[in-house]
Amino acid sequence: MNSTPKGIFIDFDGTLINAFEAIILAWQETLSFFGHELYSGEKIRRMTGKNDTSFAGIFGQENEKKARQIFYDTHDKVHLKHLQILEGAEELLLGFKQKNIPVVLLTNKVESCAVQQVSHLGWQHYFDHIIGAVPHRPSKPDPTGLLLGCQHIQQQAQNCLMIGDGLNDMQVAKHTGCTAIGICADFNAQELKEAGATHCFNNLNEVHTWLNPIN
């Protein structure tokens, strides 16, 4: 992209915030209930970044409802207690706000949970729209959510950036023609570029520096 982006799509967990403590705890509680071997935190983070977290796939179709209940009962009790803002996150969002670039939070987190967390952080003013997981709407890497966001901000995907740390973030951008900006954390630059990243950075401060010429 050689011009100022007309819109920003940005992931939440692992990109702007670290909310994985509650997610990992919920997975371990669910795995333990069904007698499964516990997963490492790294594995759970990578599963999340690949959208490879099907309850039916892991626990069986017959246990999907119970597994989902245990996971969310555990997660929702603690998720607001363990939020950590990642370095450079608020500075980046503030920069977009000052430049009047619309920002859509695009996450595979349950949408109501994402709204709660954004409100808890006092970040409502940074986002023009929040798009998360809701029943009967496919999540990233399916392009439905990103295209819905384009409708809300009245922009074409080709004129926007998608910033995220997961493979599903890069894939959804690739599917829609959106420029994909990868943050190297649980996935390295090669993995992110193979999934569709145009540029890769080590952190949000580097992204902010790269975007600094925008005016």
Note whether 13 and 29 are same-domain residues.
Answer: no
Note whether 97 and 150 are same-domain residues.
Answer: yes
Phi, psi torsion values for 181, nearest 5 degrees: -115, 115
Q: Which pLDDT band holds residue 215 (cuts at 50, 70, 90)?
A: very low
pLDDT tens readout for residues 90-136 = 999 999 999 999 999 999 999 999 999 999 999 999 999 999 999 99
pLDDT tens readout for residues 166-202 = 999 999 999 999 999 999 999 999 999 999 999 999 9
Note whether 127 and 200 are same-domain residues.
Answer: yes
Q: Exposed e or buried b for every residue in 30-53, given b needs 16+ CB within 10 A? A: bbebeeeeebebeebbbbbbbbeb
Query: Which structural domain, as residue segments, surrounds residue 30?
Result: 20-78
Instruction: Say yes or no to pLDDT of 213 above 80.
Output: no
- State how many domains the chain has: 2
Domain-located, residue 199: yes
Beta strands 199-201 and 179-183 are: parallel
pLDDT tens readout for residues 43-73 = 998 888 787 778 989 999 999 999 999 999 9
Q: Residue 1 has what pLDDT?
A: 47
What is the rounded average pLDDT of the residues 20-29? 92
Q: Which pLDDT band holds residue 212 (cuts at 50, 70, 90)?
A: confident
Domain-located, residue 102: yes
What is the rounded average pLDDT of the residues 20-32? 93
Q: Residue 149 has what pLDDT?
A: 98
Note whether 45 and 122 are same-domain residues.
Answer: no
**Of residues 166, 163, 192, the one with CA closest to residue 179:** 163
Q: Which pLDDT band holds residue 3 (cuts at 50, 70, 90)?
A: low
Domain-located, residue 138: yes
